[in-house]
Amino acid sequence: MTEATEARRVDLESPGSLRWWIGWVCVVLCTSLASFWAFWGAMEAFHEGWCMPLLWQRLLQTLAYLTPAALIALITASAIRWPVLGVVAGLSIVAFLLTAQALGYSRFPWLLLLLLAGAPGMAATALYFGRPTPRGLSIALAISAPLAVAILSGIGPAIRVAGRFDDGDRSMQLIAGNGVELEWAPAGPGWARKGNVNYTQTIDRVTRLSYDGQTLMNEPQDVWRLPTREEVVRSLTCYGENAGGQWDTTTADATYGRTPDKESPLWDPHAPLIYLWTADELDDRRAWIVVYHGGVFAKDKQLGSASIGFRAVRDPRPQQR
């Protein structure tokens, strides 16, 4: 390489040059996207995650939620350090995600898929041409920023789940307080702890649930029912005590003395269920659900996932009062 050629190369990669700008714009965009996924992963890991029976399983579950952020950060750093390797890694992941979506193995919304696949693609192409010097600083930013976001975002939720009350009792429970007294179904067909039950299926199961809550009968029994929004809101707890939930029938809004959490006796902290169907319907297409943290939302009745299910209730027997 001649001195003139080397000088021209240095000039093209010097601060303020076009390749420098391309490189740093790409680093900032990729790092921002990785930081977004780090925030999402940390929050969701303790919201709908953290529900496996053993600690090491919950830790692996948390890592799974942080995988998108980690992949974007690592691919960005690789593309900065080894541009050709960045091209191969980035385009391979883009191809994998798009193929999985096309074949039906993935059901991400297309916008979400573009966010997942877009960053690796951007790192594989723009960083191949860009030169974000000093290179060490750009690599440190690509890795440290998402890591810091994940840690800072996860501290509060981690402390919260560590203090959850769980007596381990998944039997039929009489839960009384805050103006509500109900008997809640035990683990089994009357308590869909693993979710995956839409509203139509829920109504069918509740109607056919046996008196002891352990069997689905062939014919309607009409012993159990779904709780109303107000009944769930008033029954939610925090650190083993009633959360003081109040339901405003005029505004259809819930307020609490303190934020409820996913804990017994109403919830199973180690099950994926976090949304309960209620007896209240918004219209022919939607019904109301209550989240363990107290939120109340209308959901499509045909919606089914591991996080959505029900727990049947009935009025307590006279001898229990």
For residue 40, is pLDDT > 70? yes
The fraction of the chain above a pLDDT of 90, given in percent, is 64
Look at residue 6 in the predicted model and tell me its pLDDT. 46
For residue 10, is pLDDT > 60? no
pLDDT category at 7 given cuts 50, 70, 90 is very low
Nearest partner of 121 among 188, 55, 26, 220, judged by Cα: 26
* pTM for this model (two decimals): 0.84
Look at residue 173 in the predicted model and tell me its pLDDT. 93
Q: Mean pLDDT throughout 238-257?
A: 94
DSSP letters spanning 283-309: SSSEEEEEETTS-EEEEETT---TTEE
Look at residue 4 in the predicted model and tell me its pLDDT. 47
Count of CA atoms in the C-beta half-sphere (13 A) of 319? 0
Q: Mean pLDDT throughout 21-39?
A: 90
